[in-house]
Amino acid sequence: MDLRLPSGVFFAALGAILCATAVTMPEARAPLAPVNVNLYSGLMMLAFGGGMLLWSRYGN
């Protein structure tokens, strides 16, 4: 079984949820971090999930 498709869907969905949370509730960020960690980690997860989905679509 190819795990790229379910992994891509999972990380893309989780990244989208984190990005939406970061945008709608910026006060819910980590208290000791000067930046919104949810936004940056959500963007990275979204990019990783998109990469996995592209890889599953165009990979061998």
- pLDDT category of residue 6 using cuts at 50, 70 and 90: very high
Domain residues for 31? 4-58
Please state the domain count of the chain.
1
Higher pLDDT, 42 or 2: 42
Q: What's the pLDDT score for residue 5?
A: 94
Tens digit of pLDDT for each residue in 9-56? 999 999 999 999 999 998 877 788 888 899 999 999 999 999 999 999
Backbone angles phi, psi at 59, to 5 degrees: -75, 175
pTM of the model: 0.86
| Distance between CA atoms of residues 49 and 57, nearest Å | 12
Instruction: Please tell me whether residue 38 adopts helix, strand or coil conformation.
Output: helix
- Residue 11, number of CB atoms within 10 A of its CB: 20
Here the tokens at position 23 are: 């945008």
The DSSP 8-state label assigned to residue 31 in this structure reads T
Does the pLDDT of residue 1 top 70, yes or no? no
